[in-house]
């Protein structure tokens, strides 16, 4: 897989949708292309996070620890970014991400991600929008739970 193919996937990541091709190539070049075997953990809940992952090929399961073992909360495929919250907010990983099948991701280190935000206001705005949406979702869910 080369940079050109990475760019095709990255273009579909909401966070990067406003970036032009040369920025996506920069992201691909500065990121680390990593293959995982099924069952490998990308990150573990509660640990310190240093990287975000863009799924290029394959799928991941997102789980959180429950009283009776891990609870599957989500499942993502190509074109999704996971793990960016931990590196923007400096909080421990909120969930465990596991490769479901043969997985290829673009690993973006905290450093590169921050540099990207600093260098490109459009990325910063996209991150803010994404976070705001999640907060909004969270608030809505919380309100709904309260009314029940």
Partner 1 sequence: MESSIYKYILRHSRKEQVLILLATMLSMPLIYYSLEIPKLIINQAIGGDGIPASIQGVEVTQINYLLLLCCAYLLLTVVNGGIKYHLNVYRGVLSERMLRRMRYTLYSRVLRFPIPYFKRISQSEVVPIITAETEPLGGFISDAFALPAFQGGLLVTYLAFIFNQDIFLGFAATAIYPLQLYVIPKLQKKVNELSRRRVLTVRSLASRIGEAFAGNTEIRTLDTSKYERAEISSRLGSLFEIRKEIYQRKYFIKFLNNFLNQITPFFFYLVGGYFVIKGQLSLGALIAVLAAYKDLAGPWKELLKYYQIKEDVRVKYAQIISQFEPRSIIDERLIDSESVTNTPLQGALQVNGLTYEDDNGIKHIDGVSFEVPVSQHMAIVGPSGGGKDELARLIVGLVVPTRGQIKLNGANMAELPVALTSRHMSYAGQGAYLFNGSVLDNIYYGLKNQPHDAEQVDFDHDRREAKRTGNSLFDIRSQWINLEVAGVQSDTALEARAIDMLSVVELESDIYELGLRSKLTRNTNAALEEKLLYARQLLSSELVSFGLSHLVELFDYNEYNTNAPVADNLLFGVPRDSSTTIHELIRHPYVLDTLSHNGLLDELVQSGRKAAETMIELFSDLPPGHEFFNQFSFISSDELPQYKLLLGRIDVDGIGSITAEERDKFLSIALLLVPTQHRLGIIDDAIQQRLVHARHRLSDRMPSELRGLIALFNANHYSRASSVQDNILFGKLAFGQANAEERIGELIRSVIEEVGIYRDVMRLGLSYDVGIGGASIPVAQRQKLALARALIKDTDMVVIDDAISVLENDAQQRIMTNVRRLCSDRGLVWTLTQESLAENFNQVLTIEKGKLVERSTNIE
Interface residue with partner 1, options 34, 44, 117, 127 (CB under 8 A) = 34
76 binds partner 1 (CB under 8 A): no
Output the six-digit token pair for 5. 């193919």
- Nearest CA to 27 out of 98, 84, 74 is that of 84
Window contacting partner 1 (CB under 8 A); options: 65-73, 81-89, 108-116, 130-138: 108-116
User: In the set 38, 65, 66, 119, which binds partner 1 (CB under 8 A)?
Assistant: 119
Three-state DSSP class for 55?
strand
Tokens of 42: 């990308």
As given in the structure block, the two tokens for residue 98 are: 């596991």
Q: If binding is defined by CB under 8 A, does position 44 make contact with partner 1?
A: no
d(CA 45, CA 31): 23
In 3D, which of 76, 81, 71, 83 has the Cα closest to residue 99?
A: 76
Closer residue to partner 1 in complex, CB, 33/131: 33
Q: What residues make contact with partner 1 under the rule CB under 8 A?
A: 1-4, 6, 22-23, 25-26, 28-30, 32-37, 40, 42, 104, 111-112, 115, 119
């Amino acid at each position: 897989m080369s940079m050109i193919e990475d760019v095709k996937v990255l273009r579909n990541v909401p966070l990067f949708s406003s970036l032009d091709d040369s920025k996506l190539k920069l992201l691909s070049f500065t990121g680390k292309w990593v293959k995982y075997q099924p069952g490998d953990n990308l990150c573990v809940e509660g640990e310190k996070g240093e990287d975000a992952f863009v799924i290029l090929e394959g799928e991941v399961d997102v789980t959180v620890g429950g009283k009776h073992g891990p609870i599957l909360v989500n499942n993502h495929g190509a074109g999704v970014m996971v793990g960016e919250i931990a590196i923007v907010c400096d909080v421990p990983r909120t969930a465990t991400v596991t490769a479901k099948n043969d997985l290829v991701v673009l690993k973006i280190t905290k450093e590169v991600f921050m540099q990207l935000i600093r260098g490109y206001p459009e990325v910063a705005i996209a991150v803010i929008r994404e976070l705001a949406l999640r907060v909004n979702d969270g608030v809505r869910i919380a309100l709904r739970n309260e009314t029940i």
